Amino acid sequence: TGAVPDDRTLVVERFRDEVGDWRVCLHTPFGGRVHAPLALALEAHLREHLGVDARALWTDDGIALHLPEVESPPALEMLILDPEEVQALVSTQLPASALFAARFRENAARSLLLPKRRPGQRTPLWQQRMRSAGLLQVAGQYPDFPILAETWREVMSDHFDMPALASLLRSIRSREIRVVAVDTERASPFASSILFSYVAEFMYEGDQPLAERRAQALTLDRDLLAELLGSEDLRELLDPEAIAAVELELQGLLPERFPRDADEAHDLLARLGDLSDAEARARGIGEDWLRALEKDRRAVAIRLAGEARWIAAEDAGRYREALGASLPVGLPDVFLEAGDAPLESLLRRYARTHVPFVTADPARRWVVAAHALEEALNRLAARGEVLAGEFRKAAEGREYCHPDVLRTLRRRSLAALRREVESVAPDALARFLPAWHGVGVRAGGVDRLMEVVFQLQALALPASVIERDVVASRVSGYTPRLLDELVSMGEVVWVGRGSLATSDGRVALYLRGEAPRLVPPPSNPPQTDIHVRIREHLGARGASFFRDVYNACGGGDEDVMLDALWDLVWSGEVTNDTFAPLRLLGPLARRPARKPRLPRLTQPRAAGRWSLVADLLGSGANATERLHAEAGVLLQRHGVLTRDAVIGEGWPGGFASLYPVLRAMEESGRIRRGYFVEGLGGSQFALPGAVDRLRSLRDAGRAQGAPLEKTGGIVALAATDPANAYGTVLPWPESDGRMSRAAGAYCVLDEGRLVLFLERGGRSLLTNGEVQLAHLQALIEIATNAGRVELQKVDGAPAMDSPLKSALREAGFTQTHRSLVAYGARG
């Protein structure tokens, strides 16, 4: 598979079996107590979102999933579950599992509920299973059956390690644990051992149809289970302000959501149910609209609880049958149909449009006997259509809440709690970014490079540093061949983003599938005759070698033709199927001092096949799709996105253009908004998991298991590296020189504090605070990748007279007659 699972790496292997069905194996070392509930949760999650009957088996070494009748395996994101929802998914799937049935049979036998025919005579196992299955089917009708509750407690507490599973999912979400996806032709040795267990598990399974077996899923008394498991009281979690805000939304009391015409007024009546005249006015429903709806037989005025109420005409039958409301004559028969269980139907809608309530609330509103409502609510709770429990601090007794409403309240309350948590100091962000980017990780290969490109998408970096200083710091054992392989295969696309003098330029990398939504339109495309001819040739013929471009465009001066081609590259119109031409840019590549041995047409910067960027983008994307993709890329890159981070990248449109999308993502619960880092403004957005990881660095020098641990918190970066927070989000420290995010400049951080800054060209070194030998060694390691470093000044004074001279020599510098020199691998 190219990767080995460990405590920091989870491997997802996907392949087709001998009959053509997809198999997905998750290789982890966390053991069966974690794998078992995760497998059940994945079954429920995949069935709900993909509509497939996924079957899972777990061992101590991983999980095997069988996905019949699907064209392609699920995306990696589909397998990464939300830690806040995994408990509910497990509870949904557990009753239909063999584990639950087996534990129930054992508990029933210990309780003497499976009597033997004769004392002392052994009962065959198959008979025990049959009797247990029958008892289980009957017991499922009684949610508080003690053996049932004990089985739930035993499985959830003794057999499953739910806290460890939630911790694992949070670590994956915060990128402390990597997830590597691998597609293979056949099962790897790791997967083969899991599949052997899969075959053994299902070889002797009964012939009962899956649908009938799943129909025996039990009704769970969640109150009793919560008592057995010691679950936390939601009264301590749900924020009163969040409850009040959600109540206003559900009841349509926000002015911005008032109906705009009679049609929308009818929709609101149908959504909320009965409203008095005063309640209708409070929701922006004018009396003229109500009269017009009444005239059109779309609304009905009834007497309920001693006052006039308005209802949608289609609800008339339910109100008459359930609440005894008297209806006006002349209504069509279709509106008089009450349907099945009209009282339950009205209560279901009441729950969907209210925050948690007690039975007395609808009883007072409708003047109905409380015991009748209690029975109907218990039936809804037994089916999981409403939840029963204790939700509000001020309430007394048993409350009810719709599941969707409770999810909204929990999400809003968690967001409020996060806003109240103390923000971190800026140096924590400087520690966080290198870890978030995976600087110094041990992982390598094409898969790791794809992860890096995904995070660096659309970021314009100097071509001279993008591989040497940025990619190489994130991919262990990186070689240029890896990027060339991805570009030539069409997995990665590079696009020019502007020239830097004559020997360099800015380049952005894109995943091929994301490029149509992220590549910006060309900037200032040149329009001279030679540029037009090149553009027309590539548009007509497609990808072409430079020799073909040269001949088709009239020949002439080869340097002029090649320079014109590169003008189109830097304007973002032309790209290449290899990264090699960018690697070899430079004064010597452009203007050799002596005549080359090879013909001019074969010089390195003309290598590969050239094509129009527009040919790779297709029809592109609309403005909304583009903004959504841009916001996603920036969040993936920064983890915690601020206004200064967007400005620092020079993003077209700036932060203002992205703000509506970020706000919508926050409102949908996909990202978080808060004051996470001190001094960076109030408009801060973060991915789930990024905030927790950021705050874990508040008091510690590094996160446990983070890539920086092997260097004791010391990390060397190119000044232009997006993992360097200084110069964009954070200000440069005061110094005797000028620090900037220039290509060829480097900095060394220690626990987020900038200690060293080597100016472009390597001739001047600036320090900030105490400098240790390890700092200098880290600087030499990264700076000499570009060649020799000749240091002439330290903090503005001659290097030969610096107090750091001896430490510099000990770190690896060699003294000459006027400077200190460090040599890299290339001398």
Tell me the mean pLDDT in the region 176-182.
89
The pLDDT confidence band at residue 704, using thresholds 50, 70 and 90, is: very low
Supply the pLDDT for residue 142.
58
For residue 157, the tally of other CB atoms under 10 A from its CB is 13
For residue 332, the tally of other CB atoms under 10 A from its CB is 11
DSSP-derived secondary structure letter, 408: H
Q: Are residues 791 and 814 in the same domain?
A: yes
Q: What are residue 260's phi and psi, to 5 degrees?
A: -105, -10
**Residues for the chain: how many in total?**
827
pLDDT, tens digit, for every residue of 2-25? 678 888 899 999 988 766 778 899
In a domain, 60, yes or no: yes
pLDDT, tens digit, for every residue of 358-399? 999 999 999 999 999 999 999 998 888 998 888 887 777 889
pLDDT, tens digit, for every residue of 605-622? 888 899 999 888 877 778
For residue 362, the tally of other CB atoms under 10 A from its CB is 23
Q: Are residues 705 and 804 in the same domain?
A: no
pLDDT, tens digit, for every residue of 50-63? 877 788 888 889 99
Supply the pLDDT for residue 126.
47
Q: Are residues 404 and 441 in the same domain?
A: no
Q: How far is CA 232 from the centre of its chain?
A: 27
Q: Is the pLDDT of residue 710 over 70?
A: no
Q: Is the pLDDT of residue 185 over 70?
A: yes
Element (H, E) at 791: strand 789-791
Q: Are residues 272 and 374 in the same domain?
A: yes
Q: Are residues 33 and 178 in the same domain?
A: yes
Using an 8 Å Cβ cutoff, are 154 and 29 in contact? no
Supply the pLDDT for residue 18.
64
DSSP assignments along 541-565, one per residue? H-SEEHHHHHHHTT---HHHHHHHH
Supply the pLDDT for residue 123.
55
The pLDDT confidence band at residue 506, using thresholds 50, 70 and 90, is: very high
Give the range of the structural domain holding residue 756, as residue numbers without chain letter: 732-822
Q: Is the pLDDT of residue 408 over 90?
A: no
Q: Give Cβ neighbours of residue 230 (< 8 Å, ≥ 6 apart).
A: none
Q: Which residue has the higher pLDDT, 806 or 122?
A: 806
Tell me the mean pLDDT in the region 788-800.
88
Could you tell me if residue 522 is left (phi over 0), alpha (psi between -120 and 50 degrees) or otherwise beta?
beta
CA 776/CA 820 separation, integer angstroms: 13
SS3 assignment, position 670: coil
Q: Give Cβ neighbours of residue 767 (< 8 Å, ≥ 6 apart).
A: 735, 755, 756, 757, 794, 795, 804
The two structure tokens encoding residue 283: 């929701």
Number of domains composing the chain:
4
CA 501/CA 497 separation, integer angstroms: 13
Q: How far is CA 44 from the centre of its chain?
A: 20
pLDDT, tens digit, for every residue of 85-122? 888 888 888 877 777 777 777 777 766 655 555 555 55
Q: Give Cβ neighbours of residue 304 (< 8 Å, ≥ 6 apart).
A: 274, 319, 323, 325, 366, 367
Closest Cα to residue 151, out of 229, 87, 214?
Answer: 229
In a domain, 225, yes or no: no
The two structure tokens encoding residue 452: 């890096």
Closest Cα to residue 448, out of 477, 407, 406, 489?
Answer: 477
SS3 assignment, position 630: helix
In a domain, 697, yes or no: yes
Q: Among residues 218, 250, 267, which one ends one of the domains?
A: 218
CA 498/CA 510 separation, integer angstroms: 16
In a domain, 725, yes or no: no
Q: Are residues 387 and 441 in the same domain?
A: no
Supply the pLDDT for residue 717.
94
| Angle formed by the axes of helices 623-638 and 426-437, nearest 10° | 100
Q: Are residues 26 and 128 in the same domain?
A: yes
pLDDT, tens digit, for every residue of 520-569? 888 888 888 899 999 989 888 888 888 888 888 887 778 888 889 999 99
CA 250/CA 354 separation, integer angstroms: 6
CA 640/CA 647 separation, integer angstroms: 14
Q: Are residues 400 and 427 in the same domain?
A: no
Q: Are residues 630 and 703 in the same domain?
A: yes
Closest Cα to residue 364, out of 381, 354, 311, 406?
Answer: 354
Q: Which residue has the higher pLDDT, 615 or 143?
A: 615
Q: Are residues 118 and 244 in the same domain?
A: no
Q: Is the pLDDT of residue 784 over 60?
A: yes
CA 258/CA 252 separation, integer angstroms: 7
Q: Among residues 156, 188, 218, which one ends one of the domains?
A: 218
The two structure tokens encoding residue 547: 């020799």
In a domain, 70, yes or no: yes
Q: Are residues 125 and 202 in the same domain?
A: yes
Tell me the mean pLDDT in the region 24-34.
92
Q: Which residue has the higher pLDDT, 14 or 706?
A: 14
Q: Are residues 579 and 558 in the same domain?
A: yes
Range from 200-214, 506-520, 577-591 carrying the lowest mean pLDDT: 200-214
Q: Is the pLDDT of residue 220 over 50?
A: no
CATH label of the domain that carries residue 791: 3.40.630
Using an 8 Å Cβ cutoff, are 776 and 796 in contact? no
Q: Among residues 677, 711, 745, which one ends one of the domains?
A: 711
Q: Is the pLDDT of residue 251 over 90?
A: yes
Strand partners, 387: 401
In a domain, 235, yes or no: no
Q: Is the pLDDT of residue 173 over 70?
A: yes
First to last CA, the chain: 37
In a domain, 716, yes or no: no
In a domain, 775, yes or no: yes
